Structure 1
Amino acid sequence: MSDSKPRPLHPTTVVAAQVPGIGALVGIVSAVVAVSGLYFAKAVLVPITLAILLSFVLAPLVELLRRVWVP
């Protein structure tokens, strides 16, 4: 059972590269649809985003005013 030939670390066969198929096309199309959807929805999304950010910024001030009993 003495094998004088060492086994190769890597396989000797080479697999051919595959051409990007339908999966790549679906990924590109879905990215384009998502970006265009965000572009056309910016009239609604920008005010909502600003309102959310403003509520986070003003929350500590509102809490302070509640503690000192300002109506």
Structure 2
Amino acid sequence: MHPSTVAILQYFAYDHLPAYLQGVSRPFAELAADMADRLDGPELTVCLRKLLEAKDCAVRAALAGP
């Protein structure tokens, strides 16, 4: 696995989050891991970066409430 892939995957960790945020974050982490297992190259890094942005937005939305 390319070092840049390994580096970005660390930001998908969710164990440190409260349970209700783990439920929001976990699917993104699972998808990121699946993509990292299946793909490689510069476009994977871009894919993971954009997925990370989406995960961050989803977590912020959950923090903001309904």
TM-score of Structure 1 vs Structure 2, range by shorter chain: 0.3 to 0.5
TM-score (norm 1): 0.32
Larger radius of gyration: 1
User: Larger RCO: Structure 1 or Structure 2 (Cα < 8 Å, ≥ 6 residues apart)?
Assistant: 2
TM-score by length of 2: 0.34
- The structure with more helix, counted as a fraction of residues: 2
